């Protein structure tokens, strides 16, 4: 079920009205929201709902067992079991095919003719997201930063809560569970912020991301050798804006619809292309993933505590695995490796960079960071390394005149870039103003804005890019 569709609109209205009616009766409300979340998830394929139910039961049981065990080595064993279970689930559904092929290639190179059985596995939507949420839950219990939920129902609801289920933000249990306990007592809703987030998200997805995808990104990336320098270059710029508008739109809508129900989710994007360094970029891009990788991978690896060499290694490894998290392909690993390398070099040269440069140098850094990120997007978006190299070669060498660059495309790129001004709390005055209007004016204004968005966008909506991860 995609957010910007009629089916989801009807689904959300029913769920919202049920939520309002049942929210004072905690147990029934939880069952109702859990059922709704499973319907939302099962709409793709009912078997996926069984998978998330299995993950909920096993992780809850492991959390409770770990919490009750006082013996440190046993707790550690349970933790290892939990991590192996979660990574095993993710590995089987997401990476089995990829690693089977790699193993086959490796064995055939050393003269062994054995191939692992190839299975026709469907990748469950959002598995990377809910697996990371489940892992953060058990690891936090192991670290004694969190107590397990009283019932499996609470944990299942945390894992399956529909606004953030399929593409994040990756909400931590210690952020979500306390809200679950107090949801019946929420007496004020930040409706202005919620509505503005939903509408700006719909605008970014329906108007900008869909337009860029159809009018330059998809055609050029599918056949980079057929186009010249400018088309390839603008396809890369287009993809940078498209992926931002697409993914941040999902987060905005998720945060907005949860907010209307009384839940607060953390910010996931904060004007990433305004970043003055790669480190700054990762403070602004997919914040819930970068904080997850920091807390559950980088710091356990040793972080920056054991000298320069190990810090660089930890940074690089974290981003390499972060790349692999996005998908089972070497191009994603290359994307992660590039970001790891950028951060290493940036850290090495930190003393050389003036921390408070003039406006001119801040602009230069912003442009440089944007282009480094764009370079990494080439590998992220390309189907194969060959395509990526073709694209880079065309940008460097082919001076064929452009076919795709039109004033509308430039406008879409500029508007898409400017939507970053809507991130964070830059729109708080608009939220406050919208929040003070009477209900009829709010409803009518939102309907008018939605109508304009739908009229500007193409017929039909393509899935969000991050659904594949």
Partner 1 sequence: MSTEHTLKDEIGDAREHAHVGVPPQHVTRALLIFYAAALLFNATSLHEQARLMPYGPWRDVCVAISKPFAYVSTWTGLSKPREWIENKIN
Q: Active-site positions?
A: 326
| H or E segment to which residue 221 belongs | helix 218-222
Q: How far is the CB of 427 from partner 1 (least distance, A)?
A: 10
d(Cα 315, Cα 344) in Å, to the nearest integer?
A: 7
Q: Decide: is 189 part of the binding site for partner 1 (CB under 8 A).
A: yes
Q: How many residues line the site for partner 1 (CB under 8 A)?
A: 61
Q: Decide: is 185 part of the binding site for partner 1 (CB under 8 A).
A: no
Q: How far is the CB of 446 from partner 1 (least distance, A)?
A: 5
Beta-carbon contacts of residue 37 (< 8 Å; ≥ 6 apart): 157, 160, 161, 162, 165
Q: Among 11, 16, 43, 99, indicate the residue that binds partner 1 (CB under 8 A).
A: 16
Q: Among 147, 266, 374, 415, indicate the residue that binds partner 1 (CB under 8 A).
A: 266
Candidates 61-69, 76-84, 239-247, 262-270: pick the segment binding partner 1 (CB under 8 A).
262-270
Q: Compare residues 225 and 432 and give the one whose CB is closer to partner 1.
A: 432
Q: Decide: is 371 part of the binding site for partner 1 (CB under 8 A).
A: no
Q: How far is the CB of 190 from partner 1 (least distance, A)?
A: 4
Q: Compare residues 190 and 398 and give the one whose CB is closer to partner 1.
A: 190
Question: What distance lies between CA 448 and its chain's CA centroid?
Answer: 29
Tell me the CA distances in angstroms from 35 to 39, 41, 158, one per residue in order.
Answer: 6, 10, 13
Q: Decide: is 309 part of the binding site for partner 1 (CB under 8 A).
A: no
Q: Tell me, residue by residue from 449 to 468, as one string, x for binding to partner 1 by CB under 8 A and - for no binding.
A: -xxx-xxx--x---------
Q: Quote the tokens at residue 458.
A: 């193409």
Candidates 108-116, 253-261, 329-337, 375-383: pick the segment binding partner 1 (CB under 8 A).
253-261
Q: Decide: is 159 part of the binding site for partner 1 (CB under 8 A).
A: no
d(Cα 249, Cα 205) in Å, to the nearest integer?
A: 6
Q: Decide: is 26 part of the binding site for partner 1 (CB under 8 A).
A: no
Of 190-209, binders to partner 1 (CB under 8 A) are: 190-193, 195
Of 420, 462, 444, 41, nearest to 200 by C-alpha is: 420
Q: Decide: is 315 part of the binding site for partner 1 (CB under 8 A).
A: yes
Q: How far is the CB of 313 from partner 1 (least distance, A)?
A: 13
The alpha helices in 297-348, defined as continuous H runs, are: 299-301, 307-326, 330-348
Q: Compare residues 116 and 184 and give the one whose CB is closer to partner 1.
A: 184
Query: Residue 459 gets which letter from DSSP?
Result: S
Q: Decide: is 383 part of the binding site for partner 1 (CB under 8 A).
A: no
Of 3, 9, 7, nearest to 447 by C-alpha is: 9
d(Cα 219, Cα 213) in Å, to the nearest integer?
A: 8
Beta-carbon contacts of residue 140 (< 8 Å; ≥ 6 apart): 146, 172, 173, 174
d(Cα 323, Cα 29) in Å, to the nearest integer?
A: 38
Q: Quote the tokens at residue 304.
A: 């920056």
d(Cα 193, Cα 362) in Å, to the nearest integer?
A: 31
Q: How far is the CB of 418 from partner 1 (least distance, A)?
A: 20
Q: Is the torsion defined by CA of 298, 288, 322, 225 positive or negative?
A: negative
Looking up tokens 């660059």, which residue turns up?
A: 405
Residue 3's φ and ψ, nearest 5 degrees, are -55, -50
d(Cα 142, Cα 393) in Å, to the nearest integer?
A: 49
Of 272-291, binders to partner 1 (CB under 8 A) are: 279, 282-283, 287-288, 290-291
Q: Compare residues 52 and 260 and give the one whose CB is closer to partner 1.
A: 260
Of 418-447, binders to partner 1 (CB under 8 A) are: 424-425, 428, 431-432, 435, 439-440, 442-444, 446-447
d(Cα 99, Cα 92) in Å, to the nearest integer?
A: 10
Q: Compare residues 40 and 176 and give the one whose CB is closer to partner 1.
A: 176
d(Cα 99, Cα 90) in Å, to the nearest integer?
A: 13
Q: How far is the CB of 435 from partner 1 (least distance, A)?
A: 6
Question: DSSP string of 89-148?
Answer: HHIIIIIHHHHHHHHHHHHHHTT----PPP------TTHHHHHHHHHHHHHHHHTTSSPP
Q: Compare residues 115 and 308 and give the one whose CB is closer to partner 1.
A: 308
Q: How far is the CB of 375 from partner 1 (least distance, A)?
A: 21
Q: Decide: is 256 part of the binding site for partner 1 (CB under 8 A).
A: no
Of 323-352, binders to partner 1 (CB under 8 A) are: 343
Q: Quote the tokens at residue 301.
A: 């690896």
Q: Among 131, 210, 248, 318, indicate the residue that binds partner 1 (CB under 8 A).
A: 318
Q: Decide: is 214 part of the binding site for partner 1 (CB under 8 A).
A: no
Q: Decide: is 294 part of the binding site for partner 1 (CB under 8 A).
A: yes
Residues that bind partner 1 (CB under 8 A): 6, 9, 13, 16-17, 20, 172, 174-175, 186-193, 195, 255, 259-260, 262, 264-267, 279, 282-283, 287-288, 290-291, 293-294, 298, 303, 315, 318, 343, 424-425, 428, 431-432, 435, 439-440, 442-444, 446-448, 450-452, 454-456, 459
């Amino acid at each position: 079920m995609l957010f910007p569709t009629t089916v989801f609109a009807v689904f959300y209205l029913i769920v919202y009205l049920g939520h309002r009616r049942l929210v004072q009766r905690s147990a029934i409300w939880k069952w109702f929201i859990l059922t709704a979340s499973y319907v939302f998830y099962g709409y793709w394929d009912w078997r996926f709902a069984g998978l998330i139910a299995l993950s909920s039961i096993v992780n809850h049981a492991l959390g409770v067992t770990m919490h009750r065990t006082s013996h440190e080595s046993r707790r550690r064993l349970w933790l290892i079991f939990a991590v192996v279970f979660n990574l095993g689930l993710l590995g089987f559904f997401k990476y089995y095919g990829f690693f089977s092929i790699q193993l086959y290639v490796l064995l055939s190179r050393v003269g062994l003719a054995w191939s692992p059985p190839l299975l026709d596995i469907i990748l469950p939507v959002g598995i990377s997201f809910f697996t990371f949420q489940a892992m953060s839950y058990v690891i936090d219990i192991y670290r004694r930063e969190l107590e397990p939920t009283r019932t499996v129902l609470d944990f299942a609801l945390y894992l399956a809560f529909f606004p953030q289920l399929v593409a994040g933000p990756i909400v931590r249990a210690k952020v979500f569970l306390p809200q679950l306990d107090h949801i019946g007592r929420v007496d004020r809703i930040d409706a202005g912020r919620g509505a503005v987030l939903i509408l700006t998200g719909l605008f970014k997805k329906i108007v900008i991301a869909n337009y860029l995808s159809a009018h330059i990104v998809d055609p050029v990336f599918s056949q980079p050798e057929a186009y010249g320098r400018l088309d390839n270059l603008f396809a890369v710029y287009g993809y940078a804006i498209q992926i931002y508008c697409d993914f941040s739109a999902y987060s905005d809508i998720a945060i907005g619809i949860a907010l209307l129900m009384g839940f607060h989710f953390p910010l996931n994007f904060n004007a990433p292309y305004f970043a003055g360094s790669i480190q700054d970029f990762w403070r602004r891009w997919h914040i819930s993933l970068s904080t997850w990788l920091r807390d559950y991978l980088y710091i356990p690896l040793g972080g920056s505590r054991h000298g320069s060499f190990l810090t660089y290694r930890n940074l690089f490894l974290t981003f390499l695995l972060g790349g692999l998290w996005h998908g089972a392909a070497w191009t994603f690993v290359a994307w992660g490796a590039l970001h790891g390398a950028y951060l290493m070099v940036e850290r090495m040269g930190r003393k050389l960079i003036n921390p408070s440069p003039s406006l001119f140098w801040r602009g230069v850094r912003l442009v440089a960071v944007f282009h480094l990120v764009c370079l990494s997007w080439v590998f992220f978006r390309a189907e194969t390394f060959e395509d990526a190299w073709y694209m880079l070669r065309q940008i460097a060498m082919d001076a064929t005149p452009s076919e795709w660059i039109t004033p509308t495309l430039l406008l879409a790129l500029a508007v898409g870039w400017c939507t970053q001004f809507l991130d964070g709390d830059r729109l708080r005055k608009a939220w406050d103003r919208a929040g003070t209007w009477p209900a009829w004016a709010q409803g009518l204004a939102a309907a008018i804005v939605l109508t304009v968005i739908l009229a500007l966008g193409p017929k039909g909506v393509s899935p969000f890019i991050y659904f594949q991860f």
